[in-house]
A and B are shown apart, each in its own frame.
Chain A
Amino acid sequence: MPAACRADVEALLRSKKLDRTLVPMGTAGVPCVELQEAAKTGLFELDQQLGGGFPLGQMSEIVGSRSSGRTSLLMAVLAAATSRGEMVALVDTFDLFDPESAAAAGIDLQRMLWVRGEPCAPAFPQMAARLAGADRAIARALKAANLILQAGVFGVMALDLADAPPQALRRVPQTSWLRFQRVLQGQEAVGVILGNAPMSRSAGGVSISLRPRDLGFGIRDSGDPPSPAFALRASSGHGGASGIRDSGASLGSPGSSPASGIWDSKRVFRGLDSDVRVARARLVPGADASPVRLRASA
């Protein structure tokens, strides 16, 4: 009887083209799953949890709250792809991408196609107008992502919807996500959606959720008041560029003792610290369900 029920469920899934979620049963009723081809994220622990990386031909998503390290993780994925010689595309819905951070993350910018959406500016302060603008920006971003997936020339296509209003995201028709999955099927490419909350992924894709662990790791403050007097100490002229930058942290105590170095080191931003959890439909034998700690260094 259980075998008949299982056969019925499998037939139903196949009819809905969701058979990628099926797990073939091995001996003694233990599910045996072959590791499918995957695009590595560049993070060893996360790759182990993912069974090699993001599954090819599937839509996956990276979700998390603000400052949870979601963008840093996405940049790491893109950097790993460009290091493999692939080309990547980023659909930046609200034009929030920072090329400087991307270069520091290791992305080969020459291999990156950046599609800039409408700038996330206070151009529509009223709620109704803002939502209308967000709807328009999201619709364009979805079209651009669809075009990129249809071209089939990029190893990773990332769609950044992290700052989209939830009301606007709820108005996105489900057929859009289904279209992505259909287009991506069979390609040696990965689609990654960046968002605040889970919104869509393929049946064979993965959802990576990030949760910040401790803000205290990110920022340390000695609590000492800074010196009111600032003096410009360090300056640089790099190749004709101009700019002067000064921390101001040690100013007011020139010629200080070596202990001042420790005092200074407390006053810098050090990075992000988050827990990464992986959610999937498929089973990966031997995969650890414990969260992976992600530290994004500044």
Chain B
Amino acid sequence: MFACLYKPDQPRGNGVRPHFSSDAEKTGSDPISGSRLLDVARLFSPRVDARSDTVITLEVDGLTRLFGDDKAIGDRLRRAAADAGLGPVHVAIAATRTTAILCAAARAGVTVVPAGEEAAVLTPLPLRMLEVFLPNAERTTSLSGTGDWGLGTGKSNFQSRPPRASSRSRESRGITNPQSPIPNPSFLSVLSRWGIRTLGQLAALPAVELSERIGQEGLAWQRLARGEDAGPLVPTREDDPFEATAELEWPIEGLEPLSFVLGGLLDPLCQRLERRDRGAAALHLHLRLVTKDTHTRSLQLPAPMRDAKVLRTLLLLDLESHQPPAGVDRVTVAIDPTPGRIVQESLLTRALPAPEQVSTLLARLGALMGDTRCGSPALVDSHRPGAFELVPFRVGELSSGRGQGTGTGDCHAPMWPDPEPGWTPAIPGESRILLATPKIGARHAAPIFVRDESRPCVCFPNPAPQIPTPACHAVADVTTDRRRRLATPKPPGMKTGEGGESRSPSACLRRFRLPIPARVLIDHNRPIVVNTDRPGLSGGRVHACAGPWRTSGEWWKLSATPSASGKEALRGLAGWNRDEWDVALDDGGIYRVFEDRESGRWFIEATVD
């Protein structure tokens, strides 16, 4: 036996429609009351089918021993719904779910249909009762603007819509019984035009002729009119959260015993994730301590993953650096699910590593070096010397394949705008490209074009012609080649950096994060001796030098006291105002030194290497 709980929509307007909503704007029922109706049904039986928010069917076999006959069960159901604050709920109990649904939709109160009398009960019901099998959106749309509920009019009140739209709407509303598909509602209009008014008339139609005229859809409607079920009851699964808790018999301390507990919790959780094709987007760990405090850790995963070993490793690595302060007596793991990851591999490009691997590696490195010491470097939009930022290393944001980003092996310099009229490049023979930053490792910033009369800054001076030797012809005159490549488009198919053509390396800096104080002797406004107390940097006489290059910025942050300003500038907290020199010392090293013009002190900022 099956019972059906039907919560009718509230009557609107003049109350002509007691069962179905006449408000076309109301396309769905209240999901909150629907969930409460489902909760009421679950109080009586675990085998509950939630067809919609307003129609719930449940199997009541065996409840007679608890509550009495079917009438008593119906009363219990109705009373429980009233206690839940759902108001009047129609209850019907019948041998088939279809009969129970139709009777609950048609009659208020409690209806009990004895076995074998389904046809007699359903025969007088109007044809429009079959609309109860449609989703609310279909129902209200098909009946909008009519006063006779789709019956007895010359035009069809049922909108013809494809069956797929119906099923899509059904899925969106959470109807979870795929074994009882909804027939195409457009055929109900056909039946109404035939003069079919009641379920009994539809049930009495000869099946063969009905199938010949409107196909299997007509037979499906006829089976519903006869009260026959299209399939067995498929219980609706509970939306239980991905959460697991373990109460420990005695408190545990240390990560090793905790790893076993985490493994026992994560294994079934990950199996559930896999069954539902979900992945973990975030991982939450709640550890209840013996001090009654709760130690909570949350991990945002870079990609959906459901490997229990990986998740356990990530949690343990995080706990290594954030250990609970006391013993743990309860462990709770909660997972925020997200749809699983779909990866399209390619035969032509190098495959990126799995995010699980990278996440585990980053977690291990973070535990070893510190959370803020690992990542991808990124340039910032600033002229501050040595400015950079560290961003998280994300594999998912990379596109597999070559030639991505700035490392195309061809032209890694930024595209610069053309100079304005009246501004000319400082290098004779060059049509464009003049970077006014005479620094090793030109930053990706807008260039500075200078007028002819000043012409102070030349980053790529025109080198003297050199005769290429057999050993160095591939790297000869690289600056000219570089400028030429930037100025002229590359012909298709030309590859660089892969064998056919060589690319000149760029001189790089090794930059001290905190510049090293130095003692500099000045002669004729030029450094002649650079010394420092730092071991490893011997200093010495200046063999050659270039400069000064004066830079300043963020003057509004400059402090009033020169000494404080200098210290803050070193930490990047204040503005900078300094003269830079590139000096070659007689120890063989080339250094970048600068004089802080606020404090007058000298520092070694980097070595050229």
Binding site for B on A (CB under 8 A): 40, 42-45, 47, 65-73, 75-76, 79-80, 82-87, 95-117, 119-122, 125, 127, 130, 140, 143-144, 147-148, 151-153, 162-163, 165, 212, 215-216, 218-221, 225-226, 228, 230, 232-236, 238-251, 254-256, 260-261, 264-272, 288, 290-298
Besides the contacts A72-B508, A234-B436, A293-B469, what 9 more A-B pairs have beta carbons closer than 8 Å?
A66-B587, A82-B405, A99-B377, A125-B535, A246-B457, A250-B454, A288-B471, A295-B472, A297-B505
Cα(A9)–Cα(B512), bound, Å? 48
Q: Are B499 and A47 in contact, CB atoms less than 8 angstroms apart?
A: yes
**B479: chain A residues within 8 A (beta carbon):** 270-271, 297
**Does B554 interact with chain A (Cβ within 8 Å)?**
yes
Q: Are A236 and B609 in contact, CB atoms less than 8 angstroms apart?
A: no
Q: Are B544 and A102 in contact, CB atoms less than 8 angstroms apart?
A: no
**A109: chain B residues within 8 A (beta carbon):** 376-379, 405-406
Q: Are B608 and A67 in contact, CB atoms less than 8 angstroms apart?
A: yes
Which residue in chain A gives the minimum CB-CB distance to B503? A42
Cα(A234)–Cα(B506), bound, Å? 24
In residues 369-421 of chain B, which contact A (Cβ within 8 Å)?
Answer: 369, 373-379, 381-384, 386-388, 390, 393-395, 397-398, 400-409, 412-413
How far apart are B454's CB and chain A's nearest CB, in angstroms?
A: 5
How far apart are B220's CB and chain A's nearest CB, in angstroms?
A: 55
| A-B contacts at CB below 8 angstroms, number | 434
How far apart are B418's CB and chain A's nearest CB, in angstroms?
A: 16
Task: Using known A-B contacts A148-B361, A162-B609, determine if residue A265 contacts B382 with beta carbons closer than 8 Å.
Answer: no
Q: Are B472 and A247 in contact, CB atoms less than 8 angstroms apart?
A: no
Cα(A226)–Cα(B497), bound, Å? 40
How far apart are A158's CB and chain B's nearest CB, in angstroms?
A: 12
Cα(A295)–Cα(B511), bound, Å? 20
Cα(A99)–Cα(B377), bound, Å? 6
Binding site for A on B (CB under 8 A): 349-350, 352-353, 357-358, 360-361, 364-365, 368-369, 373-379, 381-384, 386-388, 390, 393-395, 397-398, 400-409, 412-413, 426, 428, 436-446, 448, 450, 453-463, 469, 471-472, 474-476, 478-479, 482, 497-514, 516-517, 524-526, 533-536, 543-555, 579, 582-584, 587-590, 606-609
Q: Are A236 and B446 in contact, CB atoms less than 8 angstroms apart?
A: yes
**B533: chain A residues within 8 A (beta carbon):** 122, 125
**B547: chain A residues within 8 A (beta carbon):** 247-248, 267
Secondary structure call for the B interface: loop
Task: Using known A-B contacts A72-B505, A244-B553, A270-B461, determine if residue A298 contacts B440 with beta carbons closer than 8 Å.
Answer: yes
Cα(A163)–Cα(B381), bound, Å? 30
**A86: chain B residues within 8 A (beta carbon):** 350
Which residue in chain B gives the minimum CB-CB distance to A107? B407
**B500: chain A residues within 8 A (beta carbon):** 44
Task: Using known A-B contacts A234-B448, A245-B551, determine if residue A297 contacts B536 with beta carbons closer than 8 Å.
Answer: no
Cα(A26)–Cα(B609), bound, Å? 42
Closest 7 CB pairs of A and B: A243-B383, A101-B441, A153-B353, A108-B407, A108-B405, A44-B502, A83-B409
Cα(A108)–Cα(B444), bound, Å? 13
How far apart are B179's CB and chain A's nearest CB, in angstroms?
A: 45
Q: Are A147 and B609 in contact, CB atoms less than 8 angstroms apart?
A: no
**A238: chain B residues within 8 A (beta carbon):** 381, 383, 445-446
**A235: chain B residues within 8 A (beta carbon):** 448
**B579: chain A residues within 8 A (beta carbon):** 230, 248
Q: Are A115 and B505 in contact, CB atoms less than 8 angstroms apart?
A: no
Q: Are A234 and B454 in contact, CB atoms less than 8 angstroms apart?
A: yes
Ordered by A's residue number, 27 sampled pairs between the chains whose C-beta atoms are within 8 Å are A40-B498, A96-B512, A100-B386, A103-B406, A103-B443, A105-B505, A105-B508, A109-B379, A152-B353, A219-B582, A219-B583, A221-B544, A238-B383, A239-B446, A240-B381, A241-B382, A246-B549, A250-B455, A261-B455, A265-B461, A265-B462, A268-B459, A269-B590, A296-B505, A296-B507, A298-B438, A298-B506
**A80: chain B residues within 8 A (beta carbon):** 409, 497-498
Cα(A111)–Cα(B412), bound, Å? 15
Q: Are B456 and A246 in contact, CB atoms less than 8 angstroms apart?
A: yes
Which of B357, B375, B506, B545 lies in contact with A75, CB distance below 8 A?
B506
Which residue in chain B gives the minimum CB-CB distance to A148? B361
Which of A66, A72, A233, A240 lies in contact with B450, CB distance below 8 A?
A233
**A272: chain B residues within 8 A (beta carbon):** 507, 590, 608-609
